Amino acid sequence: MNSTAAQAWVAGLYDAYVTTTADHAFFLAEVCAAGGPILELMAGTGRLSLPLAEAGADLTCVDLSGPMLDRLRAKLAAKGLHADVVEADIRELALPRRDFALAILPFQSFAELLTPEDQLAALARVAHHLAPDGRFICTLHNPVLRARTIDGQLRLLGSFPLPDRAATLLLWSTQQLLPDGVTVRAAQLYEIYDRDGRLSEKRRLDVRFRLVGRAELEALARSVGFRVVALCGDYDRSPIADERSPCLIWTLAR
């Protein structure tokens, strides 16, 4: 499957298996407090964009996947909501406006930037688009805990109804650390069963992400002029604890 076909395949299923709302209250509060234009990076199909647009945010959503953004546009239109939707790679982002009060990169997706060079490029482009007192909230998995789940074992991530197709998706994953010690290769196996329990489609997608350490992110952020305003270990704003926190949530400013 080429990468465009893979993007379309994932876009068609993403909302069935990514349904978490655990970060909604956190980001809604941050967006309200920012009181200005919001830049959402790697927005995908709008899992978070929809509630932000519903709350009245002046929202610009960026993603490099056309099929993911098609779904986001359709969902906004179905609810009569508006956001500027931009298909772009955040490493090369060049929007006409540079007045964002807040940029957010939710769902720990910064890890999808696989090298320090890619991360640096993205951080520099985010900084370029912020208002002088603008802030950037960047999220990552806690690499200490995340590393423990990378053991080469095949795991069932879940069984998800696909009501439009009267079918069920079973999603499996196996993850492996590459020899560089920081890049994870994850094979995702998608099985779709029809209403009679027959396997009707089966696909495998390979995705990669980087286990980014706290010091690494902060050094990169500093090198493009950011300072750390706050760091939480979860969306309830609990402080970071290496052995317990599920994620790292930075608020950065210049």
Ligand X SMILES: C[S@@+](CC[C@H](N)C(=O)[O-])C[C@H]1O[C@@H](n2cnc3c(N)ncnc32)[C@H](O)[C@@H]1O
Comparing CB distances to ligand X, the nearer of 65 and 175 is 65
Query: Which residues lie closer than 8 Å to 69 by C-beta, 6 or more apart?
Result: 43, 61, 63, 85, 87
Comparing CB distances to ligand X, the nearer of 10 and 221 is 10
Q: In angstroms, give the least distance from the CB of 110 to ligand X.
A: 9
Interface with ligand X in residues 8-67 (CB under 6 A): 18, 42-44, 47-48, 62-65
Residue 159 tokens, joined: 């069984």
Angstrom distance (rounded) from CA 134 to CA 113: 23
Q: What are phi and psi of 227, to 5 degrees?
A: -120, 160
Closest Cα to residue 104, out of 150, 148, 52, 66? 52
Exactly one of 58, 70, 112, 194 binds ligand X (CB under 6 A); that residue is: 112
Closest Cα to residue 213, out of 124, 151, 152, 141? 141
Q: In angstroms, give the least distance from the CB of 103 to ligand X.
A: 13
Query: Which residues lie closer than 8 Å to 51 by C-beta, 6 or more apart?
Result: 21, 24, 28
Exactly one of 107, 226, 235, 250 binds ligand X (CB under 6 A); that residue is: 107
Exactly one of 58, 89, 194, 218 binds ligand X (CB under 6 A); that residue is: 89
Residue 218 tokens, joined: 């902060």
Residue 68, CA atoms < 13 Å, CB-side half-sphere: 24
* Segment contacting ligand X by CB under 6 A, of 103-111, 143-151, 222-230, 237-245: 103-111
Query: Which residues lie closer than 8 Å to 214 by C-beta, 6 or more apart?
Result: 143, 231, 240, 248
Residue labelled with tokens 């609990």:
238
Exactly one of 90, 111, 212, 247 binds ligand X (CB under 6 A); that residue is: 90
Comparing CB distances to ligand X, the nearer of 18 and 241 is 18
Exactly one of 24, 73, 75, 91 binds ligand X (CB under 6 A); that residue is: 91
Comparing CB distances to ligand X, the nearer of 18 and 157 is 18
Interface with ligand X in residues 143-172 (CB under 6 A): none
In the complex, which residue's CB is closest to ligand X? Answer: 44
Exactly one of 60, 109, 142, 245 binds ligand X (CB under 6 A); that residue is: 109
Q: Give residues in contact with ligand X (CB under 6 A).
A: 18, 42-44, 47-48, 62-65, 68, 89-91, 106-107, 109, 112
